Amino acid sequence: MSIDTSIFGPASPGAEAILRLFGTLTLFSALIFAIVLGVTLYSVIRFRAKPGQGEPRQVFGHTRLEILWTVAPAALILVIGVLSFNTLRVVDPARDGQPPELILTGHQWWWEVRYPQAGFVTANEIHIPVGQPVWIQLESVDVIHDFWVLKLGRKMDAVPGRSNYLRLEADAPGVYVGACAEFCGMQHAWMRLRVIAQTPGEYAAWQQAQAAIPPPPTETVALQGAKRFQELTCVNCHAIRGTGAQANAGPDLTHIASRQTLGAGVLDNTTANLTKWLTNPQAVKPGNQMPHFSLSSTDLSALVAYLETLR
């Protein structure tokens, strides 16, 4: 799937405000550059030493010029300051004690996405209703990560031991790609995330589906997979609601089959890729926290069949 990530096509009021400020400042810089270059070139040509000519007239102190080159940059900085504060008001508005709709926690190297009111947890994929601002609380369990969804505006650090708050909003339905933007170790490059903006109806349906406990599998191989999931070490790190698996060191797998990617964006979520991941996660994403378990081919296909039922 090709996804447009250009910051020159902003998709939220915050991203639009940032782009507008960027455009204005670039224009200012270009004008200043043109003026300085113009005056320099003029001086070089106009006052070039000619043969037989002595020292030109020396000028010491010029009150009007001194005032001009102090006041003009100060005025310009004031204008830039006002524009910047106006942008901040749009990009980083006051939260006024509003509770966050979701808590996003950075892990090496994936994102935990918790919807506290709706009561479910997912990973690497944030769904929001289109056109409605959503407050996100940003956390980290290990090192500093940084939330950045290119078309939706500002970046924000996820800092261990500290909660940061960010208002996320999308103007149009679609998939907006983001990434961790603070170097956080070996697989920093594969700490992607997606924001999926949906119509209010689709968003409500998605929330309802995520909050539901998946029905136990009916097919034999998948049933065997469900059993093996509980017997093997999977349960030490992962949770699947409605089962004995309750750990939260790794991503919650309750509805893993409904997600678009695996391994925080390293693979598209297909049956073949899930098999590849479970065969040896270290070959796909070296250094990640999921060990290579050398599963038997029977266990492998049973686990894949089971996980594929978790829609």
Residues that bind ligand CUA (CB under 6 A): 106, 109, 145, 180, 182-184, 188, 191
As measured in angstroms, the least distance from the Cβ of 191 to ligand CUA is: 4
As measured in angstroms, the least distance from the Cβ of 132 to ligand CUA is: 27
As measured in angstroms, the least distance from the Cβ of 126 to ligand CUA is: 15
As measured in angstroms, the least distance from the Cβ of 154 to ligand CUA is: 17
As measured in angstroms, the least distance from the Cβ of 158 to ligand CUA is: 8
**Could you give the CA distance from residue 311 to residue 256 in angstroms, rounded to a whole number?**
7
For ligand CUA, the closer CB: 122 or 254? 122
For ligand CUA, the closer CB: 8 or 183? 183
As measured in angstroms, the least distance from the Cβ of 179 to ligand CUA is: 8
Listed residue (218, 227, 229) closest to 278, CA to CA: 229
3-state secondary structure the chain: CCCCCCCCCCCCHHHHHHHHHHHHHHHHHHHHHHHHHHHHHHHHHHCCCCCCCCCCCCCCCCHHHHHHHHHHHHHHHHHHHHHHHHHHHHHCCCCCCCCCCEEEEEECCEEEEEECCCCEEEECEEEEECCCCEEEEEEECCCCEEEEEHHHCCCEEECECCCEEEEECCCCCEEEEEEECCCCCCCHHHCEEEEEEECHHHHHHHHHHHHCCCCCCCCHHHHHHHHHHHHCHHHHCCECCCCCCECCCCCCCCCHHHCCEECCCCEECCHHHHHHHHHCHHHHCCCCCCCCCCCCHHHHHHHHHHHHHCC
As measured in angstroms, the least distance from the Cβ of 265 to ligand CUA is: 12
For ligand CUA, the closer CB: 128 or 193? 193
For ligand CUA, the closer CB: 87 or 140? 140
As measured in angstroms, the least distance from the Cβ of 193 to ligand CUA is: 10
For ligand CUA, the closer CB: 118 or 189? 189
For ligand CUA, the closer CB: 17 or 113? 113
For ligand CUA, the closer CB: 42 or 183? 183
Strands 134-140 and 102-107: parallel
For ligand CUA, the closer CB: 126 or 303? 126
Listed residue (301, 107, 124, 265) closest to 196, CA to CA: 124
